[in-house]
Amino acid sequence: MTDPHIAAVEVELSLLARHHLHSSQHSPERLLDRSGYHLLSRLELGPLNLKQLAEAFRLDPSTVNRQVNALLRAGLVERAPDPGGAVARVLRPTEAGLDLLHRDRRILQEQVGRVLADWSAAETDELHRMLEKLNTSIEALEGRPWPRA
């Protein structure tokens, strides 16, 4: 039998995912699509090659390749020599890519701010702490820690 506390968390996580997906798809002021936003966010932390990006997102390399090619065509990422000397070239965001990423991030942060407008600083800090704990627990189970700035 399922623990009722776990069942309640699962329901809330499902609702949160639905709210997040809906708001990201229905935000006309945002300029990046969901995959572009996530790829640029990861590349902002440091350049990666295509294989590393696919592994980071647990996606098929062909899927990431399509998404990266769209960003390359739009001038939002560029290929560069691997600083470690590997043959594969790495991807890094361009200034235009970072500008759009930061613009969209501000929009998303404003949306979150509106949701949390009547929360106290302590409540917001507690939400952050618990979400980070949840994410790091998931990362530990998967053996895939996500870098944090």
Q: What is the pLDDT of residue 103?
A: 95
Say if residues 91 and 79 touch (Cβ distance below 8 Å).
Answer: yes
Going by C-alpha positions, the residue among 86, 92, 90 that lies closest to residue 39 is: 92
Q: What is the pLDDT of residues 12-48, one digit of tens each?
A: 999 998 887 777 666 667 789 989 999 999 999 999 9
Q: What is the pLDDT of residues 91-126, one digit of tens each?
A: 999 999 999 999 999 999 999 999 999 999 999 999
Bridge partner residues of 90 (DSSP): 80
Domains and CATH numbers, the chain: 4-142 (1.10.10.10)
Q: What is the pTM (predicted TM-score) of this model? A: 0.85
Token pair, residue 43, equals: 């590349």
Say if residues 93 and 101 touch (Cβ distance below 8 Å).
Answer: yes
Q: What is the pLDDT of residue 29?
A: 75
Bridge partner residues of 78 (DSSP): 92
pLDDT class of 86 with cuts at 50, 70, 90: confident
